[in-house]
Amino acid sequence: MSGGLPKGWVETTFPHVALLNPKSSLDDDTEVAFVPMPHVPTNFSDTLRFEKKLWRDVKRGFTHFRNDDVIFAKITPCFENGKAAIVTGLPNAHGAGSTEFYVLRPVIVPSALLFYWVKTAAFLKTAEAHMTGTVGQKRVPKTFVESHPFPLPPLNEQKRIVAKLDAIMPRIDSVKERLEKIPAILKRFRQSVLTAAVTGKLTEKWRGEHPETESADILLEKIKIYRMKNCTIASKLSAIEKKESGNSSFLDEEWSYSLPDTWMHCEIDSIGDVFNGSTPSRKVDSYWNGQINWVRSGEVANVRISSTRERITQEGFENSSVKLFPKGTVLVAMIGEGKTRGQAAILDVESTCNQNVAAIVINHGYVLSEYLYSWFLNFRRTLTAEKSLK
């Protein structure tokens, strides 16, 4: 490392520029600050938050520090998250905290230089690679901290570096904070666009320019005629006639949002065939690892599906109630907690699916699968109000 340092700099180690984990001694009745791990910030601009305690309560079993010391977490995941701070504002200039802190007390360098160094990607990544212990409880070894190289600039340059970083880092934190808000902003914008799309507002101008476009009631009649001609199941025909004879009992205040004059509300099985999937027996090895795609509910994640994690064999297909659905089928996850239930997908490949997924097949050409998919994306919150969509 020293060969790559600027002229006038030298490579040293932490023990030459700071004391590691120094001890303190005070009267038992002295008020000190106690700093729990959650009160240590991960950014560059926030300061420590502390609780008042007496020295007798923290002198054993805790890490000690005082104003101007640098503390940083040594345990995963706090270390990887960059939990570190320059200690300031302690009553009586003394404090204590978790034994999962390392303390650096500066000797010949400013506190800020130590602080910024332990926040560098170079230090964090190298230390992470040397962590020891079990998964979830790994720690940076003390021997690593003692031996890790530290680049030491001349004093005047140290001051210049710290001044520059003090000016820049709070601005970086501010930018980071704004960037972190972007996903939520995009999510709200996406939702507003979807709502505008499925309620007619997005195409309002287009409708005004195309008054000749046929209305949805004519379209629905065409769908009915097509399905009656192509459906051979009497019960299905009966259901179609019932649904499209004006029975709109499904419609309540929650769903009755206003639509353009040429649009209309209808039930989903008025425009497509709705099926459930199935799962071949897991106890029969010969039913699995075949060539037939099989979608799990967790894969229905507001995406287009072009491949599946699991496949079944022809034998598994023939010995279960699975159905093979064509490209363009819209899938909806019917059960699950939080993220899964109510999510949708479109098949870009022929596939079967499990029993926790509803498959909506639209094969008449009068309704786009992508439009129905967009409708599910928009109304997922309403759909998931029920514990199950089954």
Question: For 128-132, 270-274, 336-340, 354-358, which range has the lowest pLDDT when averaged over its residues?
Answer: 336-340
How many beta carbons lie within 10 A of that of residue 206, not counting itself? 10
Contact 339, 381 (CB under 8 A): no
User: What confidence score (pLDDT) does residue 350 get?
Assistant: 97
User: What confidence score (pLDDT) does residue 3 get?
Assistant: 56
User: What confidence score (pLDDT) does residue 200 get?
Assistant: 92
Q: pLDDT tens-digit profile of 163-192?
A: 999 999 889 888 888 988 998 898 899 889
In this structure, whether the domain defined by 2-170 belongs to CATH 3.90.220.20 is answered with: yes
Nearest to 269 by CA among 237, 300, 295: 237
Judged by DSSP in three states, 94 sits in strand
CA–CA dist 103, 86 (Å, integer): 10
Sheet holding 84-86, edge to edge: 18-20, 101-106, 70-73, 84-86
Confidence class for position 256, pLDDT limits 50, 70, 90: low
Nearest to 94 by CA among 83, 105, 84, 108: 105
CA–CA dist 53, 34 (Å, integer): 6
Average confidence score pLDDT of the chain: 87
Helix, strand, coil distribution of the chain in percent, nearest 5: 35, 20, 45
User: What confidence score (pLDDT) does residue 208 get?
Assistant: 92
Choice between 5 and 69, residue whose per-residue pLDDT is larger: 69
Q: Which amino acid is at 301?
A: A
Q: By CB neighbour count within 10 A (0-12 exposed, 13-18 middle, 19+ buried), where does 114 fall?
A: buried
- C-alpha Rg value of the chain to the nearest Å: 32
Judged by DSSP in three states, 28 sits in coil
Query: What CATH number belongs to 272-390?
Result: 3.90.220.20
- Predicted TM-score (pTM) of the model is 0.60
pLDDT for residue 340 is more than 90? no
Confidence class for position 244, pLDDT limits 50, 70, 90: very low
Judged by DSSP in three states, 182 sits in helix
Judged by DSSP in three states, 39 sits in helix
CA-angle at 167, arms to 124 and 18, nearest 5°: 45
Could you write out the DSSP letters of every residue in 266-323? --GGGTSEEEE-----TT-GGGEEEEEEEE-GGG-SSEEES--SEEE-HHHHHTS---
The region that residue 85 occupies, defined by phi over 0 for left and psi between -120 and 50 for alpha, beta otherwise, is beta
Residue 389 has which token pair?
Answer: 């969509």
Burial 183-204 (b: 16+ CB within 10 A, else e): eeeeeeeeeeebeebbbbeeee
CA–CA dist 352, 324 (Å, integer): 5
User: What confidence score (pLDDT) does residue 337 get?
Assistant: 60
Sign of the alpha-carbon dihedral angle for 105, 108, 113, 117? negative
How many beta carbons lie within 10 A of that of residue 60, not counting itself? 7
Phi, psi at 79, each rounded to 5°: -65, -50
Confidence class for position 381, pLDDT limits 50, 70, 90: low
User: What confidence score (pLDDT) does residue 382 get?
Assistant: 61
